[in-house]
Structure 1
Amino acid sequence: MLADKLLSIQSHVASGHVGNSAAAFPLLLLGWDAEFVNTVQFSNHTGYARWGGIRFDATHLEDIFSNMRRNGLLRHARMLTGYTPSPEALTCVKELVTELRKNNPELVYLLDPVMGDMGRGMYVNPDVLPIYRSMLPLATVICPNQFEAQVLTDMEITSLESLRSVLRKLHKDHQVENVVVTSVALPDADVAHLGISNTLPNGEPAMLLVGSRARPDNEPEMWYLQFPELGNYFVGVGDTFAALTLARFTEGTQIPDAAHACGEQVPESPSECTLPIAWAVALAVASLQAILHRTLDFMKTHAEPGIDPFGDSNDLDIEDNVKVMRLRELRIVQSANDILHPTVRYRPQWVPN
Structure 2
Amino acid sequence: MKGVLSIQSHVTYGHAGNSAAVFPMQRMGLEVWPIHTVHFSNHTQYNQGWTGKAVAGEAIAEIFDGLEKIGVLENIRAIVTGYLGDASHCDVIANIVKKAKAANPDCLYLCDPVMGDPEKGCIVSDGVAESLVGTLMPMADILVPNQFELTRFAGQDIHSMEDAVVACEKALALGPNLVLAKHLHGVKGDQFSMLMASNQGNYLAQRPHLTFPREPVGVGDMISATFLAGLINGLEAQQALEHCNNAVFGILEETAASNQWELQLIAGQKQFETPSNSFKVAQL
TM-score normalized by structure 1? Answer: 0.74
2:36 counterpart of 1:54 = no
Give the secondary structure class of the aligned counterpart of 2:119: coil
Counterpart-to-counterpart distance in 2, 1:330 and 1:187: 25
Correspondence for 2:274 among 341, 345, 351: 341
Q: Which amino acid letter does the alignment assign opposite residue 226 of structure 1?
A: Q
Q: Which amino acid letter does the alignment assign opposite residue 348 of structure 1?
A: V
**Match in the other structure for 1:246:** 228
Aligned pair count reads 279
**Match in the other structure for 2:123:** 123
2:206 counterpart of 1:207 = no
Q: Which amino acid letter does the alignment assign opposite residue 287 of structure 1?
A: A
Query: After superposition, what is the alpha-carbon deviation per residue over 1:102-152, rounded to whole angstroms, capped at 9, x for unaligned?
Result: 222211221100002253464323522343232234322111010000111
Tell whether the 8 Å contact from 2:251 to 2:269 is kept in structure 1 after alignment: no
Alpha-carbon deviation of 1:83? 0.4
Correspondence for 2:204 among 224, 233, 237: 224
| 1:268-347 equivalences in 2 (<5 Å) | 276-299=236-259, 327-347=260-280
Structure 2, unpaired ranges of 5+:
none
Tell whether the 8 Å contact from 1:141 to 1:178 is kept in structure 2 after alignment: yes
Give the secondary structure class of the aligned counterpart of 1:225: strand
Tell whether the 8 Å contact from 2:183 to 2:193 is kept in structure 1 after alignment: yes
**Match in the other structure for 1:5:** 3
Tell whether the 8 Å contact from 1:12 to 1:18 is kept in structure 2 after alignment: yes
Counterpart-to-counterpart distance in 1, 2:203 and 2:244: 16
Alpha-carbon deviation of 1:336? 2.0
**Match in the other structure for 2:147:** 146
Counterpart-to-counterpart distance in 2, 1:118 and 1:236: 16
Q: Which amino acid letter does the alignment assign opposite residue 280 of structure 1?
A: A
Correspondence for 1:18 among 16, 19, 23: 16
Tell whether the 8 Å contact from 1:82 to 1:114 is kept in structure 2 after alignment: yes
Tell whether the 8 Å contact from 1:129 to 1:152 is kept in structure 2 after alignment: no
| 1:144-183 equivalences in 2 (<5 Å) | 144-172=145-173, 174-183=174-183
- Considering only CA atoms, is the larger Rg found in Structure 1 or Structure 2? 1
**Match in the other structure for 2:92:** 92
2:98 counterpart of 1:104 = no
Alpha-carbon deviation of 1:332? 0.5
With over 3 angstroms needed to count, the CA separation of the structure-2 counterparts of 1:126 and 1:146, relative to structure 1, is farther
Query: After superposition, what is the alpha-carbon deviation per residue over 1:28-80, rounded to whole angstroms, capped at 9, x for unaligned?
Result: 12111111101111111112213211111212112212222222222301111
Counterpart-to-counterpart distance in 1, 2:148 and 2:246: 24
Counterpart-to-counterpart distance in 2, 1:287 and 1:97: 28
Alpha-carbon deviation of 1:186? 4.7
Alpha-carbon deviation of 1:9? 0.5
Correspondence for 2:33 among 15, 25, 35: 35
Residue identity over aligned pairs, in percent, reads 28
Tell whether the 8 Å contact from 2:145 to 2:182 is kept in structure 1 after alignment: yes
Tell whether the 8 Å contact from 1:283 to 1:344 is kept in structure 2 after alignment: no
Counterpart-to-counterpart distance in 2, 1:107 and 1:187: 33
Counterpart-to-counterpart distance in 2, 1:60 and 1:68: 13
Tell whether the 8 Å contact from 2:113 to 2:137 is kept in structure 1 after alignment: no
Alignment RMSD (CA, Å): 1.9
With over 3 angstroms needed to count, the CA separation of the structure-2 counterparts of 1:171 and 1:187, relative to structure 1, is closer
Tell whether the 8 Å contact from 1:117 to 1:146 is kept in structure 2 after alignment: no
**Match in the other structure for 2:62:** 63
TM-score normalized by structure 2? Answer: 0.91
Q: Which amino acid letter does the alignment assign opposite residue 268 of structure 2?
A: S
Structure 1, unpaired ranges of 5+:
189-197, 200-205, 216-220, 262-275, 300-326
